[in-house]
């Protein structure tokens, strides 16, 4: 994680440490002073003890605590905690025993320095500091791991989306070139227009669809351009209905997320129905969501025809919906002997 990406909570580390110890100083001062009523004396005593508390806390975090995160080091960690606990109390005892300007407060000098009861009692009362610091340490460690894992997941999703998007171009180009080849064989006058519209579509796909989301009106222009290509191919033989309801401005949609379903109507319906292919496409734009309903007739199968497998375009777009819209879409695909129906609902991001 770079400095520009570092969360503000961890960016100014030194000042957060300063703030932590200021809070510790004030809290301990008010607790002890409130108990004894000696605010000035307790403030000085807490300032004197603060370096010892800092030394004890940081040695625990950086020397003792790492053993708790290592496998098969728990016994070592437990032994070190016991040793550190006693040394922490001894350090606190020394800081106030030899430098206390108010020896009458709490009778520091009336007992010997190596008074184990007082040493352990002092360690127990202040050992909450290494405990709090340990909680902060583990929280920071957990947060960094979460950010690292989140970044890895985002990079993985981005890589998969780029791979899926890269598959769209050759897949669509292959199908459209097949259409062009058919028209050339038929010596159709529409072949030059096909080439022109194909170049416009490829320009959008290759250079203008790299963003995660694009304006809906631009996406609909591409769909209309593709439908025009199919109209040229099928001429009057195709019974086509295409409707767009609602306002298209001010909405964003994932690029090329609708086109595969529309392309599927022609590829697996109209192209194989030699009699009277029917394609009905209706796109409705609502304030909260968009719906697409694509219906195409299914040609009657001959006796030995096998069930057609799902093409790469359809499986591709399903995966992209899962990655981009997660739980913000509904897709229903139904078919019988006569009709193939796709109903898609996409909630705006």
Residues 6+ apart with CB under 8 A from 87: 56
Reported confidence tier of residue 306, pLDDT bands at 50, 70, 90: very low
Burial track 147-170 (b if 16+ CB lie within 10 A, e otherwise)? eeeeeeeeeeeeeebeebbebbee
pLDDT, averaged across the chain: 80
Give pTM, 2 decimals.
0.54
Q: Residue 324 in contact with residue 212, Cβ under 8 Å?
A: yes
Q: In 10 A of CB 105, how many CB atoms?
A: 16
* 199 secondary structure, DSSP code: H
Q: What's the CATH number of domain 157-347, 1.10.645.10, 3.30.565.10, 3.90.1140.10, 2.120.10.30?
A: 3.30.565.10
Q: Return the minimum-mean-pLDDT range out of 106-110, 113-117, 123-127.
A: 106-110
- 318 has pLDDT over 80: yes
The CATH 3.30.565.10 portion of the chain extends over 157-347
- The closest of 227, 125, 142, 220 to 176, measured between CA atoms, is 227
User: Above 70 in pLDDT, residue 302?
Assistant: no
pLDDT value at residue 87: 93
Q: Which of 151, 146, 100 is nearest to 122 (CA)?
A: 100
Tokens read off for 117:
């009861």
User: In Å, what is the CA distance from 265 to each residue of 244, 277, 297, 319?
Assistant: 17, 10, 8, 19
Q: Is 166 or 276 the better-scoring residue by pLDDT?
A: 276
Phi, psi of 121 (to 5 degrees): -65, -40
Q: Three-class SS of residue 208?
A: coil
Contact 78, 67 (CB under 8 A): no
13 contacts: CB under 8 Å, gap ≥ 6: none
Paired tokens of 62? 């950086």
DSSP H or E segment with residue 24: helix 13-36
DSSP letter string, 83-135:
HHHHHHHHHHHHHHHTT-S-TTGGGGGGS-TT-HHHHHHHHHHHTHHHHHHHH
Per-residue model confidence (pLDDT) at position 228: 83
Q: Identify the pLDDT of residue 307.
A: 46
Phi and psi at 173, nearest 5°, equal: -60, -40
- Report the pLDDT averaged over residues 165-188: 66
Give the pLDDT confidence of 1-20 residue by residue, as tens digits. Answer: 444 444 554 557 788 888 89
Dist CA 248 CA 220 (whole Å): 9
Number of residues in the chain: 349
pLDDT tens-digit readout, 264-296: 888 766 656 566 788 999 999 999 999 999 998
pLDDT tens-place string over residues 112-121: 778 888 888 8
Q: From the DSSP assignment, how many helices (H) and strands (E) are in the chain?
A: 10, 7
Dump the DSSP string for 280-349: EEEEEE-SSEEEEEEEEE-PPPPTTPPPPPPPHHHHHHHHHHHHHTTTSEEEEEEE-SSEEEEEEEEE--
């Amino acid at each position: 994680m770079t400095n520009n990406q570092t969360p503000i909570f961890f960016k100014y580390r030194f000042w957060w440490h300063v703030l932590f110890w200021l809070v510790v100083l004030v809290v301990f001062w008010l607790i002890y002073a409130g108990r004894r009523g000696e605010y000035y004396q307790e403030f000085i005593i807490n300032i004197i003890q603060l370096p010892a508390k800092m030394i004890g806390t940081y040695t625990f975090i950086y020397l003792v605590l790492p053993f708790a995160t290592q496998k098969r080091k728990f016994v070592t960690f437990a032994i070190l905690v016991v040793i550190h606990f006693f040394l922490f109390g001894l350090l606190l005892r020394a800081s106030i025993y030899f430098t206390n300007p108010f020896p009458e407060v709490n009778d520091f000098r009336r007992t010997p320095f190596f008074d184990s009861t007082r040493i352990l009692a002092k360690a127990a009362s202040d050992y909450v500091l290494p405990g709090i610091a340990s909680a902060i340490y583990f929280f920071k460690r957990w947060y960094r791991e979460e950010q690292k894992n989140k970044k890895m997941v985002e990079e993985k999703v981005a890589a998969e989306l780029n791979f899926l998007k890269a598959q769209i171009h050759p897949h669509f180009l292959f199908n459209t070139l097949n259409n062009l080849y058919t028209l050339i064989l038929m010596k159709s006058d529409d072949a030059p227009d096909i080439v022109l519209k194909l170049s416009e579509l490829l320009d959008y796909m290759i250079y203008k669809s790299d963003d995660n989301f694009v304006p809906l009106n631009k996406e609909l222009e591409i769909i209309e351009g593709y439908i025009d290509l199919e109209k040229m191919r099928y001429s009057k033989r195709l019974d086509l209905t295409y409707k767009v309801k609602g306002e298209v401005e001010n909405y964003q949609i994932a690029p090329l997320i609708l086109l595969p379903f529309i392309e599927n109507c022609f590829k697996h319906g109209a192209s194989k129905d030699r009699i009277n292919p029917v394609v009905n496409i209706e796109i409705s734009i609502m304030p909260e969501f968009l719906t697409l309903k694509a219906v195409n007739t299914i040609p009657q199968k001959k006796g030995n025809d096998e069930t057609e497998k799902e093409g790469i375009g359809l499986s591709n777009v399903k995966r992209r919906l899962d990655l981009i819209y997660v739980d913000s879409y509904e897709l229903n695909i139904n078919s019988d002997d006569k009709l193939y129906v796709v109903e898609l609902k996409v909630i705006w991001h």
